[in-house]
Amino acid sequence: MGVEVGAQAARSRALAVLRIRSRALAVALLPAAAAVVLLAGGSTGHLVGGGWDAARWSVSVVGLLVLLAAVGVALVVVRARPAMTPTVPVAEESAPDLYRMVRDLADRLDVPAPSAIALTPDCDSWLEDRTHRAHAPPPPERHDDVAGVGGSPHRRSEAAPVLVIGSPFLWWMRVGELRAVLAPVVAGTGPSAHPDIASARRFVQGLDAAVAVASAGGRCPLSRAVCVGLGWVSRLLLRSCRGHAAEMERGVAAAAAERAQAVDYGLRIVAQEQVGLAYAGWDRLLTRVALPAWRMGRWPSRLDVGVVAALTELSRRDRLAEGFASRLGERPACDLLEEPGLVDGAVSLLAARLFHGGPAESGPDWSPVEWDEYPEEVVDRTWRTNAARLHRVLDTLGVRRTAETAAPGADGPTLARVLDHLTDLSAPTTGPRPAAHGTTGAAEQGTREDGPIPDSDHGQVGQHHADHDDDLAGTTPRGAALAAGLSAQLAREEAETAGPSTPAAAPAVSPVTAAGPDTALWDDRVLPLFPLQSPRTGREILTDHITAMVCCAAMDTAGASPGLDWLDGPSLLVNGERAADLGPRVRSLVESGDPAPLRAWLTELGIRPEKPVRLV
């Protein structure tokens, strides 16, 4: 009963959308119809005279212009390419078990089976209509003598929608859980097959695509004027349809959910818990683990395997998640793929493009990295690169590399140089500096232990505080100057490495038909499409660089090693254990200029800050 109610509500809303389309067509034809009436009246001798002749000409011209404009808008709405989610298509020969499971699920639900399956680097699943001619592959060439004679024109396909599955689900969920999660999604193909709902969806998608066409730049003044009119009409119709379209989709979802209750309902409740867990692990993996690698020009080629490791680690740490580890003995859903490693690599590359804006293919400056190589290839290189940048900025600020009491030969890059420069002599040595005004310490008086601060440094400090008062309000002047220099250096490096924003070439099709993103079907001119994080603040940049310098000193003087924490990203391993108490000590130095907590930590672990470290 609930299925019929939801489907009926969706159909009634679809008819409301189609009525809006019909009214728009009627409004466009109204001036032309008035012109036809006037012309017919003149030809029959009923509407004669100078006034009627002027009305006939004016109304005919207006009707013709409105009709041409309506035809143009209709052509754009019909032919514009609707937006499509970037995915990795999975051919049936590369995942026969997965296709068999989905078709069996559709048979049990008594709905049409999806026409294809695709994967996306996201924790969600949905149906996507790709029947538009712009999304269809090119028609095969015909070489017979009568090619084109009697052949049917290229029409919109009536195929079922494509099932898009979040790739983390395949690796983390078991087969039964994936089946239960996909049941309400596959059930949506039933209402989607109704002609009224399909027509209403195509109309709304066409309007949305027309708005995108009208918003595109780089046109001549005449084209821009035409696009303004196109955009106004499309937005007006889209606003008129918005409420009905939203209610239509709610009706479709309600009908699909009601129909899916007959299939694996009890298991679906348990599987929904795994959906939330997978989302948390995936987000943590991208922001803490993958993002540092992408910034170094390396892309982890097994992100989906990584999310399993991250969630397994979460299960080990969290008492509430202890029961999740027992699931790992069951068959994972990725076994439904013939070559899961190849598909995982394609999804990982697509994730790097969407969330970071990396190239479409591997190259000298954009190469894959395996998880066992991550500590050395990413963590170690990141720390040493940041430490080298920190010392270059210190050189720019005129900070001496060695103190007068340093041992001979210790003129290389040292951690002591950073500590001495950022130490605020007016700060107490037992904790954060209290907020005080009118201090007369060396830092506040604009002097250094090795000489006065140059005028250029004063300018950088003033400019940085003018732009980032909220961010660096609690830091020392030297810290603010160093943060400004690091931010400027990072901006220069990013500007040098960023080339012109041109679409990258689509990768070649792999043997899995599909182990590559379908970049030909979506616009990749503006990447990243979904940035993971906002730009780092000056304080965060300074903290990251000082932490990197401390880690380099620990590795070169105390035998520490780089490591990978699946939940927190790069980590420092001292005697095989993670050093988790470094952050507060670095923040004490950055925010208050007090090096005492950090120096005590270095002494406890046997790290020698006066020793030079190896940089990139």
Q: 60-86 pLDDT, tens per residue? A: 999 999 999 999 999 999 988 888 889
- Can you give the pLDDT at residue 501? 40
Tell me what the mean pLDDT of segment 124-150 comes to. Answer: 59
Q: Which among 194, 209, 122 is positioned nearest to 160, based on CA atoms?
A: 194
More confidently predicted of 512 and 437? 512
Question: What gap in Å lies between CA 436 and CA 430, rounded to an integer?
Answer: 16
Contact indicator for 360, 519 with CB cutoff of 8 Å: yes
- Can you give the pLDDT at residue 363? 84
- Tokens 């489907």 belong to 7
- Pairing relation of β-strands 88-90 and 116-120? antiparallel
Kindly report whether the peptide bond that precedes residue 528 is cis, defined as omega within 30 degrees of 0.
yes
Q: Residue 612's beta-bridge partner residues?
A: 414
Q: Which among 422, 420, 413, 421 is positioned nearest to 553, based on CA atoms?
A: 413
Contact indicator for 399, 421 with CB cutoff of 8 Å: yes
- The predicted model scores a pTM of 0.80
Residue 104 has pLDDT above 70, yes or no: yes
- Can you give the pLDDT at residue 319? 58
The CB density around residue 432, as the number of other CB atoms within 10 Å, is 15
Which segments of 278-434 are extended strands (E)? 298-300, 367-369
Taking only the tens place, the pLDDT of each residue in 189-233 is 988 888 999 999 999 999 999 998 888 866 778 888 888 889 999
Q: How many Cα atoms within 13 Å fall on the side-chain side of residue 436? A: 12
Taking the CA atoms of residue 84, residue 242, residue 194 and residue 137 in that order, the dihedral angle to the nearest 10 degrees is -20
Percent of the chain with pLDDT strictly greater than 70? 77
The CB density around residue 336, as the number of other CB atoms within 10 Å, is 21
Mean of pLDDT over the chain: 80
- Can you give the pLDDT at residue 139? 47
Residue 1 has pLDDT above 70, yes or no: no
Structure tokens at 159: 């195929």
- Can you give the pLDDT at residue 344? 95
More confidently predicted of 61 and 3? 61
More confidently predicted of 455 and 220? 220
Return the sign of the alpha-carbon dihedral for residues 26, 27, 29, 34: positive
Q: If you average pLDDT over each of 140-144, 259-263, 405-409, which comes out highest?
A: 259-263
Residue 54 has pLDDT above 50, yes or no: yes
Residue 331 has pLDDT above 90, yes or no: no
Q: Give 130's pLDDT tier (boundaries 50, 70, 90).
A: confident
